């Protein structure tokens, strides 16, 4: 089962072009939703303005220093999720992030190339299971309002839209691939449409925004400037301050 392309069997009932068009629409929704999110919240303008102010107040950094900061941002903040001080939360985030990336890439390959090697169905399953492990661990045991404030793990707010739609999409997708139920497939498609179509209202776009925010923080610290909030008390040497409107990222 793990070596079989779950989307290949659909071609007898659903034309491959339809499935491929759905994937393309999801990609477009993410791109448009992310741009809308950036414009609506003014994030891009804020950081460009802050960048210009910082350049005017402090000496310019050399190309070598900028390259070093870019590498640190990519390795520590993006690939290693260095902003998380809690080890459990970092592990859960990394499981979810890398699982999601693997699951999405494998989905695209399997939909557009039904005869892809058995590696891709295996990656699809492994990535999905990683998402479930990290996502459900976070939802039931690590969330601040559950772990620290004692709220019910079943309490849902608007900020939970991304993680819940992600878990719903992956859970239903794996169940559908296992049981081959048309009902589960329909729910899987619906949950996936919600996940990728709700970008302007969920935290989906933060995965694209966070690298820019982390890079700006490192630049502001390196050139001696600061934003309008204090640095984290346990990592003052790593991060500068972050803009108030971007704290939820």
Domain-embedded: residue 8 = no
Domain-embedded: residue 83 = yes
- pLDDT score at 246: 43
- pLDDT score at 36: 81
| Domain residue limits at 198 | 14-246
Domain-embedded: residue 4 = no
- pLDDT score at 247: 42
Structural domain count of the chain: 1
Domain-embedded: residue 6 = no
Q: How far apart are CA 67 and CA 55, in angstroms?
A: 17
- pLDDT score at 188: 97
Question: Are 235 and 85 contacting, i.e. CB atoms less than 8 angstroms apart?
Answer: yes
Q: How far apart are CA 180 and CA 171, in angstroms?
A: 13
Domain-embedded: residue 242 = yes
Its pTM stands at 0.73
Please give the average pLDDT of every successive group of 10 residues along the chain, which has 249 residues.
87 91 95 80 62 58 68 65 71 91 96 92 96 92 64 71 94 95 96 91 67 66 56 48 41
Domain-embedded: residue 188 = yes
- pLDDT score at 52: 64
- pLDDT score at 86: 73
Domain-embedded: residue 9 = no
- pLDDT score at 190: 97
Domain-embedded: residue 2 = no
């Amino acid at each position: 089962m793990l070596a079989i392309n779950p989307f290949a069997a659909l071609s007898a009932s659903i034309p491959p072009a339809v499935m491929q068009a759905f994937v393309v629409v999801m990609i477009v929704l993410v791109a448009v939703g992310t741009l809308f999110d950036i414009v609506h919240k003014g994030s891009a303008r804020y950081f460009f303005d802050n960048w210009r102010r910082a350049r005017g107040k402090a000496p310019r950094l050399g190309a070598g220093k900028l390259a070093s900061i870019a590498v640190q941002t990519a390795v520590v903040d993006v690939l290693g999720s260095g902003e998380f001080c809690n080890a459990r939360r970092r592990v859960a985030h990394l499981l979810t992030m890398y699982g999601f990336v693997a699951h999405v890439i494998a989905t695209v390959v399997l939909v557009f190339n039904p005869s892809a090697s058995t590696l891709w169905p295996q990656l699809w399953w492994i990535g999905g299971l990683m998402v479930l492990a990290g996502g459900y661990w976070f939802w039931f045991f690590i969330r601040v309002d559950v772990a620290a404030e004692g709220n019910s793990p079943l309490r849902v707010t608007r900020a939970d839209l991304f993680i819940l739609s992600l878990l719903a999409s992956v859970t239903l997708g794996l169940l559908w691939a296992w049981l081959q139920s048309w009902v589960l497939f329909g729910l899987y498609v619906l949950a996936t449409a919600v996940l990728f179509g709700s970008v302007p209202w969920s935290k989906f776009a933060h995965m694209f925004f966070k690298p820019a925010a982390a890079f700006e923080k490192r630049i502001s610290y390196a050139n001696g400037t600061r934003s309008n909030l204090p640095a984290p008390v346990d990592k003052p040497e790593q991060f500068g301050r972050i803009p108030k409107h971007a704290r939820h990222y």
